[in-house]
Every structure is written in C-alpha cells, then in structure tokens.
Amino acid sequence: MPSRQKKPNGPEKAATSLPDTAVREAAASLAAVDAELARRYPGDPGTRQPVHTVYVPGEDFAADTVRSWGDQALAALDEHAPDAGTFAAVLGLPDHLAEPVHTRVRAKLEREPVDDIRVDFEDGYGGRTDADEDAHAARAAQLIAQAYADGTAAPYSGIRMKCLEASVRDRGIRTLDIFLTGLMRHGSLPAGLMLTLPKVTYAEQVAAFARLLEAFERTHGLRTGLIGFEIQIETSQAVLAADGTATVARMIDAAGGRATGLHYGTFDYSASLGVSAAHQAGDHPAADHAKAVMQVAAAGTGVRVCDGSSHVLPIGPTPQVHHAWRLHYGLVRRALARAYYQGWDMHPGQLPTRYAAVFAFHREALEPAAARLAAYTRRTGGDVLDEPATVKALSGGLLRGIDCGALDAAEVTAVTGLDRAALADLAAPRRGNLTNLTAPAG
C-alpha cells in the first residue's frame, strides 16, 4: 500500500524567480523618476479652498469692504427673494433643499460673506497717477493687516498687480513691493496672503516673478518659498505655445513650487481668440478647452484651478435680478460638476447665488456619497462598485462640503461613520497606495 505524503502545515510559501539584483537594479533605475514624481506631483495640499475670489478696485477697497459686500448681498435677498420658497423657485431648487440652502446662505453672508478678496491694481483699477497707486497699495497693506489683527479679514486676501509685460512691468513690481513691505511693517505676512500675476504669456515671466518673491524673502529673513502666487490664464499663448505644447504646464514648473492656483480670465482669454462680446462666457467651447488644459496640467501638482466670472450683474428690477441670478447659479453649478471648485465674483449681488450653488451641490451629494463610502469601508457592497480612486474623490468632496459650510462635520460623521481625520486619510493616500485605501478601525 503506497504511503501517503504528509501535507505541509499552513499555506504553501509563494515561490519567486527574479534575482534580488534585478529588483535592486529596477529600483535604482527609477530613483530619479521617484524623486521627480514626488517633486512635481505632491497632490492637493488638503487645505481649505475658497469657493470664490472677489475683485475690488484698489481705489475702492476700504476697511468695511467685506462687511459691506455681505450687507449688500443680504439686502438683495430681502428685496428680490425674501423667503426660502421664493429663492428656491428662482433657482429651481428642489423643495427639500429650499430651507437648508436659504438658511445657510443667509448665515454665511452674516458670518463670513467673502472667502477670498483681491484688491485689484490691474484691469479693474482706476488710479490715474503713480502717486495714486503708491498710496492705494500702501493703504491696502495697512487695511488687510489691520483686518487680520482684529479678526474681520476674509480668510484669504491679497492683490492682483499689473503684469510683467514691458510697458507696465516696473509699475507692477513697485506695487507688489509697496504692498508686501507694508504688510511687513504692520507685523508679518498673513497666513491667508494671496497674490495674482495676470496676463502671463511665457513661463519666463512666472520664473521672474518667483525670483522677485525670493529676493523679498531674503531681504526680510523669511523662509524661502513662503510666498506663493496664482497664475492668471488670460491669453492664448498661456494655453498653447508656438511649438504646440501646453504652456501652462511649463508655467507651473517655472514657479518653482510657488504656484498655488491657475485662474481663468473669461473675457481677456475669449477676446484673444476673437470670440465676439455677446458669446464671451464661461460655458463657451473656447473656455471649456482652456480650462480643461489647465486642469490636466495642474492635476496632482497641488495647484488648484479657478473658473472665471459672469459679467451679467444682478441689478435693476426684480425680473432682471432673477435672470442674472439664474444665469450665475447655472454657470457655478456647471463649473462645480467639472471640478472647478472656485470662481470669480464681481458684484455683491452674486454672493447669494454663489453660495446657493455651492451649498446645493454639496448637500445633494451628501447621502449618495455617504452610502457609497459606508459600503466601501465596511465591505458591505452596494449598487455601485467603487474603485479606490473614487473613494478618494468621495471623501475629498465631503471635506470640501464641510470646509465651505455646506455640510456640518457632525452630520457627515453621523451618516458615514467617519470623522474628519478618517475622511482626510481616505482623500489623501500616499502616492501609489490607492489600492490600500481603508477606513480606520473602530
């Protein structure tokens, strides 16, 4: 009778064939690529992103500008949509969102009406002399420093200077210098400081601006790389170079890690392509193409893309205001669906529809996102089979909703079982580790 072979205890050890030297050689050959990936594509910083940027001409900026915008926005609501039902009917909000959105919009306008404000010394500026601009830049620094000191500042504040083209270069640099030096004289650079470099056409202009900021840091003993800036995309050359490559990708690299955002300039860009005035809008195919190129160039770099503005202002009789509100609301919702989570607002009357669109977008997403996250993290299955990368997007969306005030952290935890730290872990996994996304135990 043949003897039976004894079965090994436990699972059989997995067999491999590749020599250790081959594995080490592969790692060594990719070391430079690993370093390049880490440098160029660090991922989103995970910080709060403002839902909009408000532009105010340098000569008009005052100590009460932020509060004044909130008061004007509330007055517009009171006059043209005095209750939740009216506001919802104007915008086409479903009944279940009418009261929550209206309540949160009013609360936002009362508590923190502006997320991000830019004192404008470029297209919107009306100062006539160099002395005017010197005075307005110094005043902007003083007022912003004081607002941060007394707690009345917008979370993010800064200036848009003139561009670095030869005709206005010296003036733009001087305004930048006066503003930054003024902030230092009044204490320090605020954590929410934002600078916008407009009408960029060549990556060399971005590199020159980065060197100017480095020189300022060196002069004041500041950490190198402390001051970041936004690149405004307003010309065709900023999207497509003469050799057919994407200029905007070069610009991000030329910033040397200082680029924080790419802002789309709706009207300058459209005009540069010959789009007639009647059709210059954020939903024009030319705008879609430019923003798509910006989005791909910025993906993974930590640089955020910002949509442009609507020039149809909600002023005049109620039917006219309602028309402008519907247009603005629709453009913002369209941008959000395309992952442009920030845009420009040019008038206080646009604040109600900016926040209504953002809040409705995130509140509509809450229950579906929560159900999909719960199914994934608890391994219970569901009617949607989510990839780990989608879980990252779901978590990131809920965090954006919390940051902007559309959602409360407690309600998100209640429906997902995940606190903010757990959501952050899911939203920002280590590079190359998407397959190991899991929820913390407990």
What are the sequence ranges of the domains in the chain?
Answer: 52-349, 365-436
What does the pLDDT look like over 62-121, one tens digit per residue? 999 999 999 999 999 999 999 999 999 999 999 999 999 999 999 999 999 999 999 999
Helix pair 84-91, 318-337: axis angle to 10 deg: 70
What does the pLDDT look like over 179-206, one tens digit per residue? 999 999 998 999 999 999 999 999 999 9
Segment 6-16 mean pLDDT: 74
Non-local CB neighbours of 42 within 8 Å, separated by 6+ positions: 300, 301, 302
Task: Give me the percent of the chain exceeding a pLDDT of 70.
Answer: 93
Segment 289-318 mean pLDDT: 96
Do the beta carbons of residue 196 and residue 159 sit within 8 Å? yes
Segment 271-279 mean pLDDT: 93
The CATH number that domain 52-349 falls under is 3.20.20.60
Non-local CB neighbours of 416 within 8 Å, separated by 6+ positions: 369, 370, 373, 374, 398, 423
Which comes out higher in pLDDT, residue 9 or 20? 20
Full-model pTM: 0.90
Which comes out higher in pLDDT, residue 373 or 250? 250
Answer yes or no: is pLDDT of 437 > 60: no
Nearest CA-CA partner of 109 in 159, 157, 51:
51
| pLDDT band at 434; cut points 50, 70, 90 | very low
What does the pLDDT look like over 115-161, one tens digit per residue? 999 999 998 898 889 999 999 999 999 999 999 999 999 999 999 99
**pLDDT score recorded for residue 12:** 80
| pLDDT band at 18; cut points 50, 70, 90 | very high
Would you state the structure tokens that stand for residue 123, as one six-digit string? 């297209």
Nearest CA-CA partner of 232 in 144, 329, 309, 339:
309
Task: Give me the percent of the chain exceeding a pLDDT of 90.
Answer: 84
| pLDDT band at 442; cut points 50, 70, 90 | very low
Nearest CA-CA partner of 248 in 308, 296, 194, 209:
296
Would you state the structure tokens that stand for residue 46, as one six-digit string? 């995970």
